[in-house]
Amino acid sequence: MVLVDTLPPCMSGPLRFDIIDRCGETQARVGRVETAHGGFDTPAFMPVGTRGTVKGLTPEQIRSTGSEIILNNAYHLLLRPGDGLVARRGGVHRFMRWDGPILTDSGGYQAYSMSDINAVDDEGVTFKSIVDGSMVHLGPERSMEVQNNLGADIIMAFDDCPPSVDPATLNESRKRLAGKRGGPHAKGYDHAKRLVEAHDRTKKWLHRCVEAHRRPDEQALFGIVQGGTDLELRRASVEAVCGVDLPGYAIGGVAVGEGPELIREVVEHTAPLLPVEKPRYLMGVGYERDIVAAVKAGVDMFDCVLPTRNGRNAQAFTREGRLHLRNAKFSEDDAVIELGCDCAACGGGFSRSYLRHLFQVGEMLGPTLLSVHNIRHFQRLMLDIRRAISENDWSLLLGAWPVLRAQYAPATGEGVDAAGEK
């Protein structure tokens, strides 16, 4: 344990944040966040429970992975079953029977990325519902209303999330992804101008969010820093966003197609600029190395769909790298996914052969077991990261996690995805 510049607990709104250990040679810190629904150790990994369920897992199974806080998507829940309905059920904790901490995103990112955008302007975004085709408006006030209704412990400001790199510089598949987000289809699209516009809007909308937030004593509102890959704009965004006193701050607009090196550059630049005494949250990131790099830059909270989404697609995370369990070479493999893993799938003795069979015949137990394993994989990484910080020794982590030392595999190599993609 290395105690450096120990800070008093930070009480801000309904949140308490204690920094317990710090690592001398990096910005990394071990902490504990307390909410009305209990606490979670940081650096923390939050599994994604899009529609009020971490796909295929009971709350008990989520708990078995060591997860202490989960994320829900406001966008999906506002469309179905509706935030008003969830409020009448007593909020999303009671609705989904998860009594631990919950964080909701603001819905903006999904509105941009999942919908045919009808209009983005200073009032927010108007999009076509993927459910019934009706037009839905989401702006700072409505996003706060939705999140107040859902009742999560941590809620996110409604931000304008532009493509992080100029779509003109992207390859085709990333162009398609980025093209959905921020209107680069429009004639005369000017990326630098779009970043500044997003930064301005994010700043203005944050004030409107604070104003509209009806439950500041129960729900901690986090601000979101934007700025794309423009480091100066990131600094300006930090100044503007952190100028508002909030219980925590997030780095948004990262890992949206720009690749691991740029993710790292932006995070290493931005995280240390955020208030040291408040929790810092890097949204939507990522692979193991992205997380370790961000922790070293001082990030405390992470969420990512990788363990669950890849798990549903038969991809298992291990310390040595990812296994594609549909591969024929596993058909008679009696080993568990990963020797020494204490997840319910490995601990339960389910073989790669059996898991492959489940995926080959389309049985839901396959996605369930692999999601449990993959989330546990990330939670064990966080455990080892916290130990590395407390012991001020990263060598053990690198020794135990070969995946952290390997080169990023190219997108076409043996079915291994390019790192950094969401």
Q: Choose the catalytic residue: 160, 290, 303, 384.
A: 303
Regarding 359 and contact with its own copies (CB under 8 A), the answer is: no
Query: Nearest approach, Cβ of 56 to its own copies (angstroms)?
Result: 4
Separation of alpha carbons 41 and 211, rounded Å: 30
The residue within the footprint of its own copies, chosen from 66, 81, 183, 216 (CB under 8 A), is 81
The residue within the footprint of its own copies, chosen from 368, 373, 374, 386 (CB under 8 A), is 368
The gap between the terminal CA atoms of the chain, to the nearest Å, is: 34
Nearer to its own copies, 73 or 148 (CB): 73
Regarding 392 and contact with its own copies (CB under 8 A), the answer is: no
Regarding 350 and contact with its own copies (CB under 8 A), the answer is: yes
CB contact set of 106 (below 8 Å; sequence gap of 6+): 74, 143, 147, 155, 156, 157, 158, 159, 224
Regarding 188 and contact with its own copies (CB under 8 A), the answer is: no
Q: Choose the catalytic residue: 83, 105, 160, 300.
A: 105
Do residues 271 and 263 lie in contact, with contact meaning Cβ atoms separated by under 8 Å?
no
- DSSP sequence for 294-305: HHHTT--EEE-S
- DSSP sequence for 224-258: EE--TT-HHHHHHHHHHHHTS--SEEEE-S-SSSS
Cα–chain center distance at 78: 19
Q: Which run of H or E residues covers position 126? A: strand 124-128
Regarding 335 and contact with its own copies (CB under 8 A), the answer is: no
Place of tokens 């999303």: 92
The residue within the footprint of its own copies, chosen from 128, 235, 357, 422 (CB under 8 A), is 357
The residue within the footprint of its own copies, chosen from 353, 400, 409, 416 (CB under 8 A), is 353
| Stretch binding its own copies (CB under 8 A), from 95-103, 222-230, 290-298, 382-390 | 95-103
105 is catalytic: yes
Structure token pair of residue 288: 């193991």
Nearer to its own copies, 66 or 321 (CB): 66
The residue within the footprint of its own copies, chosen from 13, 52, 227, 260 (CB under 8 A), is 52
Regarding 53 and contact with its own copies (CB under 8 A), the answer is: yes
| Stretch binding its own copies (CB under 8 A), from 9-17, 50-58, 220-228, 296-304 | 50-58
Nearest Cα residue to 55 out of 293, 331, 296, 310: 310
Nearer to its own copies, 76 or 203 (CB): 76
Query: Nearest approach, Cβ of 150 to its own copies (angstroms)?
Result: 13
Nearer to its own copies, 94 or 214 (CB): 94
Instruction: Return the bridge partners of 119, or none.
Output: 126
Regarding 298 and contact with its own copies (CB under 8 A), the answer is: no
393 is catalytic: no
Nearer to its own copies, 89 or 175 (CB): 89
Q: Is 52 left (phi over 0), alpha (psi -120 to 50) or beta?
A: left
Instruction: Provide the sign of the torsion angle of the four alpha carbons 2, 20, 9, 273, taken in this order.
Output: positive
Nearer to its own copies, 360 or 392 (CB): 360
CB contact set of 390 (below 8 Å; sequence gap of 6+): 1, 2, 20, 21, 30
- Positions annotated as catalytic residues are 105, 303
Q: Which residues of the chain form contacts with its own copies (CB under 8 A)?
A: 51-53, 55-60, 76, 80-81, 85, 88-89, 95-97, 331-332, 334, 344, 348-351, 353-354, 356-358, 360-361, 363-365, 367-369
